[in-house]
Amino acid sequence: MQPPFLLVDLDRTAPRGEEEGGDRVLVGVSAELREPPRGFDVLLTGAADPPRPWLGRADPYAAARRLEDVVTAQPAASVALVQVLRMGARLTGPERLVVESLAYSTLQSGAGFRAWLASARRPAPRPAAEPVRLTRDGARLTATLDRPWVRNAFDAATRDALCEALHVAVADPSLAEFHLRGDGPDFCSGGDLAEFGTSRDPAQAHLVRVHRSPAALLQRCAPKVTAHLHGACVGAGIELAAFAGRVAAAPDTVIRLPEVGMGLIPGAGGTASLPVRIGRERTAYLALSGEELKAEEAHAWGLVDEIT
């Protein structure tokens, strides 16, 4: 098999029209801004504030080397991520969610995720009687993630409760606004680690993930939805919020996609929601690098619509 990472120095090598990544992560680097070549999974440049699909970093070559380290450490998850993102451009929104879930379930049985599970400290479950608090005022429904003691970590009960609320938003024509919030210091710290790896049947987990999907419901009612972000917005915390028709973020908002480092890919709809807002190349960079994205840069990218 060929190495899972290929770096092309675009200052020295002219791209051959549309490149083919195949079963490797294809990264292009250029010190200067140029016409973006097609087919690359990530495009890095030293130019400040470049337009999509470029991503600007002070030292793009160092950023590329960090990506190579991640891909080398988690090759299966890294390659699966870019393959899912490439396919997404040719699929409908619901189809993207199915492909993402299939890849996620496959990786749950992989060596990368098993190694991460063996090394991770998993906290004890700390469930809530009412993980999502609902309040309605006329045509406005507000759903508040309400497990602040675990930074609103997203567990199965939270997923199911949010699905119930979103079913109302989809089915009720008198509902004009759906607001999604998080109680406490963080909007959502991502998937609840207390539940990671507890599923013994990845195939069944895929069916459950597709059947009980907040992401699929958000796709259907997105124009009604405003997501209000603050504090940590990790994994599911940004993947679901990015479906909203409007995303407002407090200045302390910090966004991160950590799943590749765990041997997985985003599994709450992120490969479907983020590319619509920021493109697949910047989505790939966020997921591969695991970097924190602050509110101002998220706003500049279009991942956030306003800072409030």
- pLDDT (0 to 100) of residue 14: 72
- Sorted by sequence, the CB contacts under 8 Å of residue 72 that are 6+ apart come out as 4, 5
Distances (CA, A) of 122 to 105, 117, 260: 20, 8, 18
Distance, first Cα to last Cα, the chain: 49
Looking at this protein, which amino acid is placed at residue 17?
A: G
Inter-residue contact 4 to 23 (CB < 8 Å): yes
Tens of pLDDT along 212-222?
A: 999 999 999 99
Tens of pLDDT along 69-78?
A: 999 999 999 9
Q: Is it the case that residue 15 has pLDDT exceeding 80?
A: no
pTM of the model: 0.95
Q: Is 180 exposed, middle or buried (0-12, 13-18, 19+ CB in 10 A)?
A: buried
Tens of pLDDT along 240-273?
A: 999 999 999 999 999 999 999 999 999 999 999 9
Alpha helical stretches, state H, 57-155: 60-73, 75-88, 93-108, 111-119
Reported as a pLDDT band with limits 50, 70 and 90, residue 20 is low
**Token pair 């908002």: residue:** 253
- Sorted by sequence, the CB contacts under 8 Å of residue 12 that are 6+ apart come out as none
Residue ranges of domains in the chain, CATH in brackets: 5-73 (no CATH), 92-264+292-307 (3.90.226.10)
Mean pLDDT across the chain: 95
Inter-residue contact 279 to 308 (CB < 8 Å): no
- pLDDT (0 to 100) of residue 2: 84
Q: Is it the case that residue 180 has pLDDT exceeding 80?
A: yes
Reported as a pLDDT band with limits 50, 70 and 90, residue 306 is very high
Q: Is it the case that residue 18 has pLDDT exceeding 70?
A: no
Q: Is it the case that residue 87 has pLDDT exceeding 80?
A: yes
Reported as a pLDDT band with limits 50, 70 and 90, residue 190 is very high
Tens of pLDDT along 195-213?
A: 987 777 889 989 989 999 9
- Give the whole-angstrom CA distance, residue 274 versus residue 4: 23
Reported as a pLDDT band with limits 50, 70 and 90, residue 13 is confident
* pLDDT (mean) for 48-59: 94
Q: Is it the case that residue 121 has pLDDT exceeding 70?
A: yes
Inter-residue contact 134 to 142 (CB < 8 Å): yes
Q: What percent of the chain has pLDDT over 70?
A: 97
Looking at this protein, which amino acid is placed at residue 174?
A: S
- Sorted by sequence, the CB contacts under 8 Å of residue 118 that are 6+ apart come out as none
- Give the whole-angstrom CA distance, residue 12 versus residue 240: 40
- Give the whole-angstrom CA distance, residue 238 versus residue 215: 11
Closest CA to 277 of 250, 299, 256: 299
